[in-house]
Structure 1
Amino acid sequence: MNYRHIYHAGNFADCMKHTLLVTLLQHFLRKDSPFLVMDTHAGLGRYDLESPEAEKTGEYREGIGKLWSEAPDSPLSPWLELVRKAGGPRYYPGSPLLASLMLRPQDQLICCEKHPQDKRTLYRLFAGQTNVSVHERDAYEGLRALLPPKNARRGLVLIDPPFEEPGEFDRLAEALQTIRSRFATGMVAVWYPIKHRTPVRQFHTNVELAGHRNVLVAELLMRPPHNPDMLNGAGLLVIKPPYGFAEQAQLQLDRLKTALGAFEAIVSELVAE
């Protein structure tokens, strides 16, 4: 399958993922020391919601399209302010663009994108931004090649696969081992789809069996996860979350649940079944 995120940009899963990503990155801004953000599946960086592809599915209407009228004191405001800064409501920023808008001169963003055309688009987007680098390479190979960072002991690795091939959860579990061996001080955030509970439960079990500790799971379900043919929800697994993140994430997911008419919003420590 040739996955193109433009069909799904700005949907409920994007809103959930990006809200939590901004909250995680705000943690690094509390100190002057530099930090790294590595985005392993960077995509295009910015998506035109008036494009034929986005209009074909209209998924953004049930995501970002419902959130523009949020009050200034909404828990979602830090993320929404960046979306507007990036060109919203027409242009929706992906995770690399959101991260780049939060960087200071001493911080660094590394983007990996294996599709040549998308890599060129991403490269043009960040032209002239010296603390952003774009690499045309496989995400998991990039972890081995580009970690640890040279000039930062702090950082976040975001892994956000398209799940277009079987075995993605197994590759994620292996990637977490690679990161732990090469960037032990780093934080990790892994996005995953929730269609049916069984693959997610097995992934959580594998993470625990591998010895990862201090793991938080945030999930937003639009409907009960009973139909494996539908995207029923999305999750973000965070290793080494900052102090206070669980409470912030729960407030944000609760607001998304209400605004989007979701079924369930859960933030909890990982306890594999």
Structure 2
Amino acid sequence: MLSYRHAFHAGNFADVLKHSVLTLVLDYMTRKEKGFSYIDSHSGAGMYQLTDSYAQKTGEYKEGIARLLAADTRQATPAPLQPYLELIENLNRDSAQGELSLYPGSPGIAKAILRRQDSAHLFELHPTDIGYLNDFCQRWRKAHIKQSDGYQGVLSLLPPPSRRGVVLIDPPYELKEDYPKAVKTIIKACDKFTTGTYMLWYPVVKRALVTEMEETFSASGVKNILQVEFSQRPDTEEYGMTGTGLFIVNPPWQLKDQLAEILPYLKTRLNKEEYTASYRLKQLVEE
């Protein structure tokens, strides 16, 4: 199945969580001079136009990134959230009257942060998005793009030559099988490259599927797993994503404290009036 298009959802509350964490992780990796590899299993288009028909049809970004960039909120923004928001603002600096018109996918976040000594390995299967991704990365000399299965792609590149790496796995979860498959890919990856930092994004659509992921990780033998989750509304049996989360293996040492600052702010700013937003942050598996 290749019907999923992230252009409908770019900049929504799930992207806010995922990309603010990715920004912090990549920023941490650049603090050492030695280069590292960034590996992205489901890269999408790289950059999204919030003014196009896809984003305008759903308007999801208006309840996500647009709320955080509103003028009346910026002074109260927690320090750990600032690098992500500044990155988005810089991308839109040349737009008319500072209008929010561009939103980066995970390759866009990486392109803004990675240095000459760092490399990016981007996988995407969708026949339309791979074209956009190639165009986006045209002048990015250290980006390597493949139209192939991202799960196998991740495993084929480990361990990276530098022995420093960040892996992001964020499938569309069009199939239920993606939930266990994504977890098993991380477990296999850790067997090949124990010291890498791994980020696995997930949507909260059916709570039982997330619980199964937690249980599989807990029984896997993989150490040092941080779990963060943010929900705009309570779990429900009805159709639709109520929340979003990340499992992070080998997180930067200060990431948990940074998220402890970010999450209460997101709860306040991204709360939907008819619901009560919530979050959780826990060390799922100790070091």
* TM superposition score category, shorter chain reference: over 0.9
Q: C-alpha separation between the residues in 1 aligned to 2:19 and 2:237? A: 25
Offset, 1:244: 1.2
**2:241 match:** 231
Offset, 1:79: 0.3
Q: Deviations for 1:69-123, whole angstroms, at most 9, x for unmatched residues?
A: 2325623211011112223710100111101110111111111011232112111
Mapping for residues 232-247 of structure 1, pairs under 5 Å? 232-247=242-257
| Superposition TM-score, scaled by structure 2 size | 0.90
Q: C-alpha separation between the residues in 2 aligned to 1:111 and 1:208? A: 28
Q: C-alpha separation between the residues in 2 aligned to 1:61 and 1:245? A: 27
Could you list the runs of 4 or more consecutive aligned residues of structure 1 that deviate by over 4 angstroms after TM superposition? none
Q: Secondary structure at the match of 1:101?
A: helix
Letter of the structure 1 residue corresponding to residue 87 of structure 2: L
Q: Which runs of 5+ in 2 are unaligned?
A: 93-98
Q: Secondary structure at the match of 1:205?
A: helix
Offset, 1:228: 4.7
Q: C-alpha separation between the residues in 2 aligned to 1:37 and 1:135? A: 14
Q: C-alpha separation between the residues in 2 aligned to 1:7 and 1:116? A: 17
Offset, 1:44: 0.2
**2:278 match:** 264
**1:24 match:** 25
Aligned alpha-carbon RMSD (Å)? 1.6
Mapping for residues 70-81 of structure 1, pairs under 5 Å? 70-71=73-74, 74-75=77-78, 76-81=81-86
Deviates more, 1:193-202 or 1:44-53: 193-202
Offset, 1:263: 1.3
**1:147 match:** 158
Does residue 1:183 correspond to 2:160, yes or no? Answer: no
Does residue 1:3 correspond to 2:8, yes or no? Answer: no
Letter of the structure 1 residue corresponding to residue 125 of structure 2: K
Offset, 1:227: 2.7
Q: Which runs of 5+ in 1 are unaligned?
A: none
**2:96 match:** none
Letter of the structure 1 residue corresponding to residue 228 of structure 2: A
Offset, 1:54: 0.9
Contact 2:270-2:277 at 8 Å conserved across structures: no
| Superposition TM-score, scaled by structure 1 size | 0.94
